[in-house]
């Protein structure tokens, strides 16, 4: 399924300055794995455990916090948006 990962300003320099990254992924975990494979520099900018992210870091599927869904196991459908939120000062 083609989904869109939306990156905040703080992460864009580590992802070739892309605001949006188009990926094929069936779950949020698969999308994050593929995002990190495509842009390895992001790995040092994201917490290692995104299923229980620290305060200020969150992942959203179509505006819904993954913590209120199924965490990284949350299924994704075609055209879903996976937004990554990180505090700019902590990077």
Domain boundaries, position 29: 2-90
Mean pLDDT along residues 63-73 = 94
Overall domain count for the chain? 1
Calculate the alpha carbon distances from 29 to 53, 59, 88, 89 in Å: 13, 11, 23, 25
Pairing of strands 2-6, 81-85: parallel
Asked whether 85 and 8 are in contact (CB, 8 A), the reply is: yes
| pLDDT one-digit tens code per residue, 2-20 | 999 999 999 999 999 999 9
Mean pLDDT along residues 16-38 = 96
Range among 6-10, 40-44, 47-51 rated most confident: 6-10
- Whichever domain contains 50, its CATH number is 3.10.20.30
Mean pLDDT along residues 39-53 = 79
Asked whether 70 and 51 are in contact (CB, 8 A), the reply is: no
């Amino acid at each position: 399924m083609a989904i869109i990962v939306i990156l905040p300003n703080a992460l864009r320099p580590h992802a070739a300055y892309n605001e949006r990254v188009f990926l094929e992924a069936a779950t949020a975990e698969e999308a994050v794995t593929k995002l990190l494979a495509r842009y390895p520099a992001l790995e040092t900018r994201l917490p290692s455990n995104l299923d229980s992210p620290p305060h200020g870091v969150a992942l959203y599927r179509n505006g819904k916090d993954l913590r209120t869904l199924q965490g990284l196991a949350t299924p994704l459908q075609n055209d879903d948006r996976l937004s990554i939120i990180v505090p700019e000062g902590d990077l």
